[in-house]
Amino acid sequence: MLIALVSAKGSPGVTTSALAIASQWHRPALVLDADPFGGDVRAGLGAGEWPSHAGLAELVVDLRTGPVEQSLHRRVHRPAGHCPPVIAGFGCVGQASSVPWSRLAPELARLDGGDVIVDCGRFVAVDGVVGLLRVADLVLLVSGSTLRAARSASRVAPLLREGLDAGVGDPRVSLLVVRAGEPYSAQEIADGCALPLLGALPDDPRAAEVWSDGTRPARSFPRSALQREARRLASLAARLDPTWSAA
Ligand SMILES: Nc1ncnc2c1ncn2[C@@H]1O[C@H](COP(=O)(O)OP(=O)(O)OP(=O)(O)O)[C@@H](O)[C@H]1O
Ligand SMILES: [Mg+2]
């Protein structure tokens, strides 16, 4: 299954949500950092320590000589036991648009025995990672709950539906709200975007920093509000897998 997380504007928590959900996935899942504005995991989750071979640029080079599946295990890095395997993003803005997504994305969507959760950063209508969004089994628009955030999300939602050829209500394009209630509820934002609501992740700065900034998790981290809700959302998202009933 290929799941893409994307934001409309601001920094609502795409990277944090992608990592939290992947860490709670029911089977092996890797996170691919494809943020077109430059990847964050080397400096964030990796706190500046990241092997140079474990990146999307290196994966793209491998594509010249072999299938994606062969290259993936060489290109992932797990910075610590609580982390999912991750492929870091680009160091330069715009490089994500040079990736041959039309070849890479379908192969990622059909991996045997594993799923891929992609941090697509802020949505860019032209270039960006549109080629990947088109073949994703699930695109999650991540939004905060302020008026500004809700407005931006409602502008991007129709573009995403159009890109995926998804009608109103099609769960392939769904909403994930981070820190609902500032002041809008997750459902109010979903209604404004005309998107099905997958769910919401709570305001949990301590747990979020583990993913966004690579801080050491406290002993209570696995029981944190963020991780518990990420687990619930992971199981809801997994049900949208087109092969779910066969799994
Ligand atoms: N559920 C949450 N509760 C509290 N803080 C959060 C939550 N999710 C993310 N944050 C915090 O919000 C900030 C931005 O998070 P993150 O980097 O994941 O956002 P982003 O949407 O990926 O941003 P960008 O577009 O810049 O890549 C970080 O400081 C992170 O710790
Ligand atoms: Mg990010």
Query: Does the C-beta of 89 come closer than 6 Å to ligand 1?
Result: no
- Strands, sheet with 138-143, edge to edge from the N-terminal-most edge strand: 86-87, 29-33, 115-122, 2-7, 138-143, 173-178, 197-201
Tell me which residue range forms the domain holding 14: 2-238
Q: Has residue 10 been placed in a domain?
A: yes
Q: Has residue 247 been placed in a domain?
A: no
Query: Does the C-beta of 48 come closer than 6 Å to ligand 1?
Result: no
Total domain count for the chain? 1
Query: Does the C-beta of 11 come closer than 6 Å to ligand 1?
Result: yes
Which ligand 1 atom lies nearest to the CA of residue 203?
Answer: 3
Q: Are 57 and 90 in contact (CB under 8 A)?
A: yes
- Rounded to the nearest angstrom, the distance between the alpha carbon of 13 and the centre of ligand 2 is 7
Q: Has residue 163 been placed in a domain?
A: yes
Q: Has residue 161 been placed in a domain?
A: yes
Query: What are the structure tokens assigned to 120, written together?
Result: 């697509």
CATH at 76: 3.40.50.300
Q: Has residue 246 been placed in a domain?
A: no
Return per-residue pLDDT of the chain as tens, 247 residues.
999 999 999 999 999 999 999 999 999 999 999 999 999 999 999 999 999 999 999 999 999 998 898 899 999 999 999 999 999 999 888 888 889 999 999 999 999 879 999 999 999 888 778 999 999 999 999 999 999 999 999 999 999 999 889 999 999 999 999 999 999 999 999 999 999 999 999 999 999 999 999 999 999 999 999 999 999 999 999 998 877 654 4
| Ligand 1 mutation pick, 5, 11, 118, max ligand atoms within 8 A of CB | 11
Q: Tens digits of per-residue pLDDT, 15-61?
A: 999 999 999 999 999 999 999 999 999 999 999 999 999 999 999 99
**Ligand in closest contact with the CA of 225:** 1
Q: Are 176 and 200 in contact (CB under 8 A)?
A: yes
